[in-house]
Chains A and B, each alone.
Chain A
């Protein structure tokens, strides 16, 4: 990985954006990297969107908040509108195309349009949209491997959710497939 990567996950409350950010943070920690996870908790989250920022670095992390993230994973249209313009040049935008019909005019970022919600529905549980989106993001930006995520998920998932482990693995794999197809075509 480059020295530092900053991910923003943003969507409606209930789409699992906080959890998927925490999962990425656990994975970074388990891989021996420095990491910070910080949620939005101010007036902005009263508007129905929730977001979190995850900074991963080989060096100690100064600022846990960033103006120009290297990766934005957006689950809905307000999140697309907010973060598409501020992604750092050379960065990655993963957009949940099931709910976002916008496309980016920017030619200095990679855009992955992943039908996250629809694909999660196909898998039988719309609540794993977040794992599909994470699998896709890490395929295009292999800061950490999907296998690392799988291991951390198994280690940190609460006992009463262990029955969902296989579904979550399947969602990660689905995200990898969708992103791989798009990246080959591009």
Chain B
């Protein structure tokens, strides 16, 4: 298949419909509006459901309803809009429904701004709504990964009957890069056996997130935790760059991870042995590999576009095996490669000091 030059937002939308997206419900917000705009045209062309709701609250509840029928369904938004969706996300998780949500994060808190940010790492990786669960969270760093992870998100959602979030920022959403789109998957004609399809010929299915008895609620909770244990054991994804011989390991995801890649090349040209681990899944966090590398390196440096959120997951995985430094920009400010090189220099200076 030939390469195309696509914006991240458009690429995600096109990948979703090629993955067999049957229904989309959303509300426009910068910096993800091109995603909704592309689907508004394409879904209608393909005679599928596109609906611009009156708000994010309405959109996520429409997604909830459609997910109950066992079709491939998604929504997309950006930070403040995703906050409005929190209740619905929790209900979707509580009802064990497969569903894909894209969050093109922006500067915050509050209305914030429309610039690239990773300030919602806690929000998306902890529970994305109330209750004791974690969604699967995929973090692309390029337009091609945004495409690949969108398809993967639907597959993981179906495989585990679980909520999957794809998170990026305005830089990936608005950037154009050469990429290849996946082939068209046919829209699924069968529905899962748990789906609400009209119970004329079978026992009725019940989909709910209410369990009034403690034992029943805990039964749900135990089942969810068992599923999450499987997800943690099998779905950790990451890429590494120059980690074989590195003294300093940078951990960064998405935009920050890809900018670190440039900084590492600059630092290497000065003779500093730096490597990169870029998590592709934020949940499950690639804790096993980070722990292994923490045995091998002298020090780690976490780079994020926030005040230090994944930093906590890195420290949990490192568990004191090596010191962990942090460099971050906030408010929609994107770290430049030379700033990360300065942070690398500082980490090496600390290594040189006697303990």
Task: Give residues in A with beta carbon < 8 Å to B.
Answer: 22, 25-26, 29, 34-39, 41-43, 60-67
Contact = CB atoms under 8 A, between A and B. Distances in A.
Contacts, number: 64
Interface residues of B, number: 27
Given A42-B332, A43-B113, A34 B178 contact: yes
A63 B31 contact: no
B341 to A, nearest CB: 11
Nearest to A67: B336
User: Which 5 pairs show the lowest CB-CB distances between chains A and B?
Assistant: A62-B262, A62-B261, A37-B176, A63-B262, A63-B259
Nearest to A39: B174
B49 interface: no
Given A34-B178, A38-B176, A29 B5 contact: yes
B178 A65 contact: no
A64 B171 contact: yes
Contact of A37 (B175, B259, B260, B334): B175
Contact of A42 (B113, B177, B262): B113
Contacts of B31: 41
B313 interface: no
B175 A38 contact: yes
Interface string B220-264: 000000000000000000000000000000000000001111111
B337 interface: yes
Interface of B: 3, 5, 30-31, 113-115, 170-171, 174-178, 258-265, 332, 334, 336-338
A64 to B, nearest CB: 6
Contacts of B5: 22, 25-26, 29, 35, 37
B340 to A, nearest CB: 9
Nearest to A59: B265
A162 B279 CA distance: 44
Contacts of B336: 63, 65-67
A65 to B, nearest CB: 6
A67 B258 contact: no
B6 to A, nearest CB: 10
Contacts of A63: 258-259, 261-263, 336-337
A63 B303 CA distance: 14
